[in-house]
């Protein structure tokens, strides 16, 4: 049978299609394998020029210290932290989103008029972000990043918001460098979780508690009571959801 395939040319066709499938599987593997992405992604895309991007848009920052500030959001695709209450699960699979050049991202941000850039995800630090940061810093943009802290910091940032997740603990370097600690409160146990991380951050880090959106009616009163007794914490609300903006 194999001799017949080879003689008719069908064997070459089968082998060619098999290799194509292997390459597609390899691309899917690398784009969704953060432990390998920094060293091997160059065979899939050029991280110095482009990045998997779920979306980008001008809006007001809705959460935390910079709430209400006119911003340009850059939502990177790809995340393996896997929070069950994540409100952007569609960002998890990097290969479901296009590769977008930094030139395009920069041009779009420039047209928006915003000078404050928020890089979020997904998990931004799955990728090396030096080139992206350099592009904006050369034109004096202010750069902020929202991260779980699960992967090493790359790039230069004016503001680092650390939002730790239970599935993957933050790396120690984030506690020293975080400007803001934002802990999501899904249940009562999360207050203890918040204090564990607050005890590790630097003395200048701003502390915020934010209710998980689906639990806002039942847990917001708990957060208010907690802050009354622990005034080092501040309340973070997802104001963009309340007023209906991205």
Distance CA 114, CA 112 (A): 6
Between 11 and 112, residue with greater pLDDT: 112
Q: What is the mean pLDDT of the chain?
A: 86
* Domain locations along the chain: 46-243
Q: What is the mean pLDDT of residues 125-151?
A: 96
SS (H, E, C) 27-68: HHHHHCCHHHHHHHHHHCCCCCCEEEEEEEEEEECCCCCCCC
What 8-state DSSP symbol labels residue 168?
B
Mean pLDDT of 133-139: 96
Q: List all residues 6 or more positions away from 9 whose beta carbon is below 8 Å from its beta carbon.
A: none
Whether the CB-CB separation of 151 and 76 falls below 8 Å is answered with: no
pLDDT, residue 17, reads 52
SS3 assignment, position 172: helix
CA dihedral 95, 101, 106, 111 (to 10 degrees): -90
Cβ contact 234:67 at 8 Å: no
Q: At 54, list the tokens.
A: 């779920």
Q: What is the pLDDT of residue 45?
A: 79
Buried b (16+ CB within 10 A) or exposed e, 223-242: beebbeeeeebeebbbebee
Q: Which CATH number fits domain 46-243: 3.40.50.300, 3.40.640.10, 3.40.50.1000, 3.20.20.70?
A: 3.20.20.70
Residue 39, pLDDT > 70, answer no
**What is the distance between the alpha carbons of residues 1 and 27, in angstroms, rounded to a whole number?**
32
Q: Which residue has the higher pLDDT, 3 or 232?
A: 232
Of 241, 170, 177, the residue nearest 203 (C-alpha): 177
């Amino acid at each position: 049978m194999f001799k017949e395939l080879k003689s008719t040319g069908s064997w070459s066709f089968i082998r060619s299609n098999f290799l194509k499938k292997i390459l597609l599987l390899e691309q899917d593997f690398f784009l969704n394998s953060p432990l390998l992405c920094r060293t091997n992604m160059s065979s899939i895309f050029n991280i110095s020029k482009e990045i998997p991007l779920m979306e980008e848009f001008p809006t007001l920052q809705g959460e935390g210290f910079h709430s209400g500030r006119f911003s340009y959001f850059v939502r990177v695709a790809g995340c393996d932290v896997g929070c069950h209450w994540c409100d952007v699960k569609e960002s998890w699979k990097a290969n479901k989103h296009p590769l977008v050049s930094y030139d395009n991202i920069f041009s779009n941000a420039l047209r928006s008029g915003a000078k404050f850039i928020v890089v979020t995800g997904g998990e931004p630090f799955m990728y090396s972000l030096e080139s992206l940061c350099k592009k904006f810093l050369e034109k004096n943009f202010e750069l902020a990043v929202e991260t779980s802290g699960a992967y090493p910091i790359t790039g230069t940032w004016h503001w680092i918001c650390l939002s730790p997740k239970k599935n993957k603990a933050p790396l120690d370097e984030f506690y020293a460098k975080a400007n803001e600690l934002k802990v999501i409160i899904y249940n009562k146990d999360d207050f203890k979780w918040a204090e564990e991380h607050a005890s590790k951050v630097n003395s200048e880090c701003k502390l915020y508690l934010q209710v998980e959106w689906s639990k806002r009616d039942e847990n917001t009163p708990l957060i208010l009571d907690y802050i009354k007794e622990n005034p080092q914490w501040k309340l973070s609300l997802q104001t963009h959801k309340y007023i209906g903006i991205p």
